[in-house]
Amino acid sequence: MNPLLQAKSLGQRLWLDNLSRELLAGPLQKLINEDGLAGVTSNPAIFQKSISAGAGYADDLAKLKQQSLTTEQRFEALAVPDVQAACDLFAEVYRRSEGLDGYVSLEVSPYLARDTAGTEAAAKRLWAAIQRPNAMIKIPATPESLPAFTAAIAAGINVNVTLMFGARHCDAVFDAYVAGLRQRLAQGGDVRSIRSVASLFLSRVDTLIDGKLDARGGEAIAFKGKAAIAMVRTSYARWMARWASEECADLRAAGANIQRLLWASTGTKNPAYPDTLYVDELIGPDTVNTLPDATLAAFRDHGSATPRLTQGVDEAAVTLQRLAAVGVDMDAVAEQLQVDGLKLFDEAFDKLLALLA
């Protein structure tokens, strides 16, 4: 059986980490039909690559440059229709799954990552512009943007929280989601239709920590390639336990949906590691894995759809303790990677807006 479909039967949904007009022209529908693809994500780097490649955008670019628009408005004039078209392709998936599947994400400007009011306003504006129930607005998990995430949930907006790199980020996002649901209930709103994911980035964690372990040498090298998976297993266990606990009983009673953890940055960057490492090891209920094209193809070809996410949680906790003992501060790593991730998105957006200028 197709491992992509097997993963779905085990409670994990697979999304594609790509969006382009070439994809919309045919390949996306095939992925939905044959592989059970359940969603698509985008980010500034993905759009920069797609638009700079030119395929399908030349005519619109020429027209937009004749209009009195800012470069960000030009970008949205290209991106919003793409997201709408992708949402429409997933509309039947969304309907049949009763709102569980079929989501397409569009990110607020990365320039707003430290601007609470700006992020909230952008999220509401993009949600209104897309006008699709299976859209998700991506908001970064920075301390400044999390209140905007809470406000978006309270307003009934689906949100994909991005740029999470550790357990502390998970706790902060969980708290912000719960706060948003409670605000919506207090306002007399319905929480049953709201869906959200929390994107935890993986390969960048191992890349940074592996470098630290190489520098320390000795016994530390034995932990290379183990930090991200250990962090995910322990974070997932805590996440699920919190949602199932008395802490969230009122929300469950009101019909609120769990915010699913999503594994991002799942293409391995170290060629010594299996190319499906961050898929094979992390399949479990109420999760999403968003895959680059190459990783999706690799998992279809030789992946192992086995429910390993909930296995070895105690061993994962020991691994994190041993990493701490050799000087790896997981919280500091997460903060550094979030700053680095914001910088990369800023740089991609700079290039994109320069192209549209």
At 62, the amino acid letter reads A
From the number of C-beta atoms within 10 Å of its C-beta (0-12, 13-18, 19+), residue 268 rates as: buried
The SS3 of residue 304 is coil
Tokens standing for residue 130: 């897309």
Find the catalytic residue in 65, 124, 138, 212.
138
Rounded to 5°, the CA angle 38-44-45 comes to 90
Are the C-beta atoms of residues 153 and 181 closer than 8 Å to each other?
yes
Are the C-beta atoms of residues 282 and 260 closer than 8 Å to each other?
no
Are the C-beta atoms of residues 256 and 194 closer than 8 Å to each other?
yes
DSSP conformation class of 328? -
Determine whether 138 is an active site residue: yes
Spell out the alpha helix ranges (H) of the chain.
Answer: 3-9, 21-24, 27-35, 44-53, 58-64, 71-89, 91-96, 116-130, 146-154, 167-186, 203-216, 227-244, 249-253, 277-280, 293-302, 313-325, 330-356
Alpha-carbon distance of 78 to 144, in angstroms, equals 28
The full 3-state SS of 206-273, as one line of letters, equals: HHHHHHHHHHHCHHHHHHCCCHHHHHHHHHHHHHHHHHHCHHHHHHHHCCCCCCEEEEECCCCCCCCC
Contacts of 282 (CB under 8 A, 6+ apart): 202, 229, 232, 233, 263, 289, 308, 309
Alpha-carbon distance of 344 to 341, in angstroms, equals 5
The SS3 of residue 15 is strand
Q: Which residues are catalytic?
A: 138
